[in-house]
Amino acid sequence: MKNEFLYFALRNRKLRLGLSVVLFFLLLTFVGPLLTDYDPWGYIGAPAQPPSAEHWFGTTTFGQDVFSQFVHGLGPAFLVGALGGGLATLIGTAIGFVAGYRGGWIDEILNMLTNIVIVIPTFAVLLIIAAYLEVRSFFIEAVFIGCTAWPWTARAVRAQTLSLRAREFVDLARISGMRASKIVAFEVAPNMMSYLVMVFILQFGGAILNAATLDFIGLGPTTGISLGLMMNYAVLWGALQLGMWWWFVPPGLAIALIVGALYITNVGLDEVFNPKLREK
């Protein structure tokens, strides 16, 4: 079984492409800061310089090194992605399992909760949070994303749980006297492992994109640097009008590439997990 999975995984071009891009940026997150001595916040050079041997991605209006900001901004992006995406996956899966397996009134209440979270205007809540919290961290951003992004996962997991629950092996587990929590953990969940991995990848990409959006419109963290914040500053200080493409293109492109690569990875995984899609 495992070998067959590896066999198809290694031969899937989408999976290989997606994973290499993601791994490249992940590597850059760790190696990047070693390649530059510049402080991402330091005013270290002439302002508004295009890329050169000295400053690989040029400098900002204030003479900050864009490459240094870029490589330091990658880390928070992945962190928020992993944390926010992980949290959303966790909440969504837990609610989906309980709603799908227990059914009845518990299902109806959880369904209602899911629908409420879907219709809550996220930005309004964010504005309120922004007004109350003067200092916001990446951690709070990730938690916020995690707490608002789970509903579709809950719905999908609930639907899958419902269909698995009707299978006879679940009945067999029940007449073996297994507890409900044990049945979900050891009978239902293992059947959805591949699906849960894909859910996490999608949530991961979604969280990165969400965080970038929040940062960009100025509702992001008030400290630190991130790709979204870089774009926020670039636009604030008129990089677009001044034609300083090197300020906003690298962070924008990186976000697009990372998120895109994650989606491609997901499609590739889907093909690997689902034998029906293997044949063209």
Partner 1 sequence: MALKVEGLRVYYQTLRGDVRALDGASFSVGDGEIMGLAGESGCGKSTLGRSLILLKPPMKYVGGEVLLDGDPLPIWDRERMAPYRYKKVSIIPQQAMNALNPTRKIGRLIRELLEARGVSSRDLLPELKRRLDLVELSHEVLKMYPIELSGGMKQRVVMVISTLLDPSLLIADEVTSALDVSTQKRVAEMLVGFRDHKFVRSMIVITHDISILYQIADSILVMYAGKLAEKGPTEAIVRRPRHPYTQLLISSLPEIGVRHTERRLSGIPGSPPPLLEPPQGCRFRERCPVAFDRCREEPPFEELAPGHLVACWRAHG
Partner 2 sequence: MVELERVTKVYRVGTFGGRALKAVDEVSFEIADGEVVSLIGESGSGKTTIGRMILRLIPPTSGRILFSGMDISTLKGKALKDYYRSVQGVFQDPFSSYNPIFKADRVFRVVRQEFFPNVEEGEWGKRVEGALRAVGLAPGEVLGKYPHQLSGGQLQRLLIARALLLDIRFLVADEVISMLDASTRIDVLNLLAELKGERGLSILFITHDLALGHYLSDRAVILYRGCVVERGPIDRVFGKPYHPYTRMLLSSVPRLDRKWEEGKVGLKGQQAAPTKGCVYHARCPFPYESCKGERPHLVEVEPGHLVACHRIGETEVGKCRRQG
Binding site residues, partner 2, CB under 8 A: 1, 167-169, 171-178, 187, 190-191
* Beta bridge pairs of residue 59: 65
Contact status, residue 274 vs residue 97, Cβ threshold 8 Å: no
**Residue among 7 and 139 whose Cβ is closer to partner 1:** 7
Q: Which amino acid is at 152?
A: W
Q: Which does 7 bind (CB under 5 to 8 A by kind): partner 1, partner 2, none?
A: partner 1
Q: Which does 13 bind (CB under 5 to 8 A by kind): partner 1, partner 2, none?
A: none
Kindly list the distances between the CA atom of residue 82 and the CA atoms of 75, 85, 138, 194, in Å, as whole numbers in the listed order: 11, 5, 12, 18
**Residue among 163 and 223 whose Cβ is closer to partner 2:** 163
Distance of CA 44 to the CA centre of its chain: 33
As measured in angstroms, the least distance from the Cβ of 2 to partner 1 is 13
As measured in angstroms, the least distance from the Cβ of 138 to partner 2 is 37
**Residue among 134 and 279 whose Cβ is closer to partner 1:** 279
As measured in angstroms, the least distance from the Cβ of 278 to partner 2 is 17
Q: Which does 191 bind (CB under 5 to 8 A by kind): partner 1, partner 2, none?
A: partner 2
**Residue among 86 and 103 whose Cβ is closer to partner 2:** 103
Q: What is residue 53's DSSP assignment?
A: S
Residue with the two structure tokens 């587990």: 173
The two structure tokens encoding residue 53:
């041997």
* Beta bridge pairs of residue 65: 59
Cα–Cα distance between 98 and 117 in angstroms, integer?
Answer: 17
**Residue among 1 and 131 whose Cβ is closer to partner 2:** 1
Q: Which does 187 bind (CB under 5 to 8 A by kind): partner 1, partner 2, none?
A: partner 2
Cα–Cα distance between 280 and 278 in angstroms, integer?
Answer: 6
**Residue among 3 and 241 whose Cβ is closer to partner 1:** 3
Residue 198: closest CA among 1, 14, 39, 24: 14
Q: Which does 190 bind (CB under 5 to 8 A by kind): partner 1, partner 2, none?
A: partner 2
Residue with the two structure tokens 């890329």: 51
Residue 247: closest CA among 48, 53, 39, 33: 48
Q: Which does 104 bind (CB under 5 to 8 A by kind): partner 1, partner 2, none?
A: none
Q: What does the radius of gyration of the chain's CA atoms come to, in whole angstroms? A: 22
As measured in angstroms, the least distance from the Cβ of 19 to partner 2 is 24
Size of the site for partner 1 (CB under 8 A): 3
As measured in angstroms, the least distance from the Cβ of 3 to partner 2 is 14
Contacting partner 1 within 6-45 (CB under 8 A) = 7
Cα–Cα distance between 152 and 175 in angstroms, integer?
Answer: 32
Residue ranges in contact with partner 1 by CB under 8 A? 4, 7, 279
